[in-house]
Amino acid sequence: MATQFNTYTEGEAAPLRDRVMANPRPAAVWVGVAAVLFGLQGGAVVQFLVALIVDAASALPGVAVPAAVSALERVADAVPTLLSRETIPNRGYYDGSGYVGTFLGLSPDLAWLLRVTLIYAYSFAALAWVWIGYERYRTHYRIADWTPRDDVIDRFRGHKWGLFGVVVVAMFFVMVLFAPALSPTTTAANLEDPYGHEVTYWADGETQTVTVGQANLGSQSQGTPQENVGPMQYDDYGRIHPFGTLPSGKDLFTFIAHGSRISLIIGLVSVGLSVSIAVVLALMTAYYKGKIDLGAVLVSDAVMGMPQLLLLIMLSVILSGTWIGKIYSGAFVLALIFAGTGWPAMWRSFRGPALQVSNREWVDAAKSFGQTPGTIMRKHMLPYITGYVLVYGSMTLGGAIIAIAGLSFLGLGVNPPTPEWGRAVNAGQDYVTTASWHISLIPGILITLVVTGFNALGDGVRDAIDPESDAEDQGGASGRGGGA
């Protein structure tokens, strides 16, 4: 530990900038490597963020996409990305002697597997480098030799179930971020405009060309061995399908990869809004108590008493023709409904810890020194319940994803043709016991795995923050959700 930073002036710690300037090498090396890592795949990150902006702008009522947004989209598309379908292509055809158009002449399945492997290897290397950055900060620039956060991190590092959740959640986020590069084809050709794109293939001793839409009609998975393209199989047009095809003949992996984006967007927006409302209410009711707390209890009881499914159906029908119902194909409406009906459970989870901290000595001391209620809630109460926010937020996000999939399965979720996992399960429900079992089973397994991953992550965070909860669980007590 660099002890020369223990004091800056009498009783005052040196600013982080001065500590870095006094020992710049560890920070400079880390920033340099981080810049290289971001530069390799920075284009994919920029394109993902710009795509969100363009989708939101295109849904505004009576307003065309601003020229600045369109220009931003073109700039984002021009940003180079190393691990992409263009640099490691898997689209090609067999010309009788070898593959043409694929990376290094590899077969399409090997080229696709190589690209996917490299993308996930890069992603986990980037995550590892983020962790190394924290270790460098703790070793070279942090003033304190120890903080309570160190014990939390050490406990989490030994929590195998929590680490499993980290791996699953990380793989899910990689799929969301790099969906275009991971997919064997594009959404434009696979979902949006199949008859506007062509595919070249080898047949009858010569190369032939057909539209993607026509090729899809010949690659349908409809339950019989003659009409089925399963996982890691080629169709009659030389296209590899890692997860097989849908009953429409479209590529299932591309559908799932891009559908993960919709699931995550709805989940993050709904959970983010729910957590924000619940945290603000928990702090206010714990600080002021009395009538404000009673009013929040009555409102939360009223909201929890409303039938969520009926409310969802009603609002979806009412708002479907409006501009807000068109944002992300109805996904934004779902997020608002989930947030509007989900905050009471969140608030009840945060209310207990907030009431506990509101009675602590340091809160009374802050009041006696004349600090404003907002400052007291933000500086002296909010940090205490942050751990509970992380626990319940991660668990609720997994629940939101499975709820979205369930609604889409029932035809109440995201509007077609936008891809969503529940719609894939719905499309294959008639073929579960046939040769086309993959249509429902694969997305069903992924939904279960992702939800389990988020729950495992929440369990790991809870046990790391409150180790007594793990001991009580092992003793037979039911899970308390972080001690609440």
pLDDT tens-digit readout, 65-124: 566 666 777 777 777 788 888 899 998 888 888 899 899 999 999 999 999 999 999 999
Same domain, 101 and 232: no
Same domain, 213 and 299: no
Same domain, 42 and 129: yes
Within a domain: residue 166?
no
Within a domain: residue 189?
no
Same domain, 328 and 463: yes
Same domain, 310 and 352: yes
Maximum separation of any 2 CA atoms in the chain, in Å: 89
Distance CA 328, CA 147 (A): 43
Residue 476: predicted pLDDT: 41
Same domain, 209 and 257: no
Per the model's pLDDT, the better-predicted residue between 45 and 253 turns out to be 253
Q: Is the dihedral of CA 366, 367, 372, 377 positive or negative?
A: positive
Residue 477: predicted pLDDT: 36
Residue 11: predicted pLDDT: 45
Confidence of residue 62 (pLDDT cuts 50, 70, 90): low
Burial 178-213 (b: 16+ CB within 10 A, else e): bbbbbbbbbbebbbeebeebebbbbeeeeeeebbbb
Residue range of the domain that includes 296: 253-474
- Whole-number percent of the chain with pLDDT over 90: 34
Residue 60: predicted pLDDT: 59
Counting DSSP H helices and E strands in the chain, the numbers are 19, 6
Mean pLDDT, rounded, for 415-438: 87
Residue 349: predicted pLDDT: 86
Worst-scoring range by mean pLDDT, 1-5, 351-355, 443-447? Answer: 1-5
Where among 245, 278, 302 does a domain terminate? 245
Look at residue 416 and tell me whether its pLDDT is greater than 60.
Answer: yes
pLDDT in tens, 340-368: 888 888 888 888 888 888 888 888 888 88
Q: What are the start-end ranges of the E strands in 320-457?
A: none
Worst-scoring range by mean pLDDT, 7-11, 74-78, 436-440? Answer: 7-11
Residue 484: predicted pLDDT: 32
Confidence of residue 373 (pLDDT cuts 50, 70, 90): confident
Asked if residues 248 and 216 have their Cβ atoms less than 8 Å apart, the reply is yes
Residue with tokens 């340099």, as numbered in its chain: 32
Look at residue 414 and tell me whether its pLDDT is greater than 80.
Answer: no
Confidence of residue 58 (pLDDT cuts 50, 70, 90): low
Same domain, 136 and 239: no
Where among 214, 245, 276 does a domain terminate? 245
Worst-scoring range by mean pLDDT, 4-18, 287-301, 387-401, 447-461? Answer: 4-18
Residue 479: predicted pLDDT: 37
Within a domain: residue 457?
yes
* Number of structural domains in the chain: 3
Confidence of residue 4 (pLDDT cuts 50, 70, 90): very low
Same domain, 139 and 36: yes
Same domain, 305 and 236: no
Within a domain: residue 360?
yes
DSSP state of 239: -
Q: What are the start-end ranges of the E strands in 334-467?
A: none
Within a domain: residue 317?
yes
Confidence of residue 440 (pLDDT cuts 50, 70, 90): very high
Residue 14: how many other CB atoms lie within 10 Å:
18
Same domain, 124 and 102: yes
Same domain, 208 and 337: no
Within a domain: residue 165?
no
pLDDT in tens, 315-327: 777 776 677 776 7
pLDDT in tens, 229-281: 999 999 999 999 999 999 999 999 999 999 898 888 888 888 889 999 999 99
Where among 223, 245, 267 does a domain terminate? 245
* Sequence-ordered alpha helix ranges (H) in 93-211: 108-136, 148-157, 160-177, 179-182, 187
Same domain, 234 and 280: no
Within a domain: residue 172?
no
Confidence of residue 403 (pLDDT cuts 50, 70, 90): confident
- CATH assignment of the domain containing 397: 1.10.3720.10
Within a domain: residue 387?
yes
Look at residue 1 and tell me whether its pLDDT is greater than 70.
Answer: no
Asked if residues 451 and 401 have their Cβ atoms less than 8 Å apart, the reply is yes
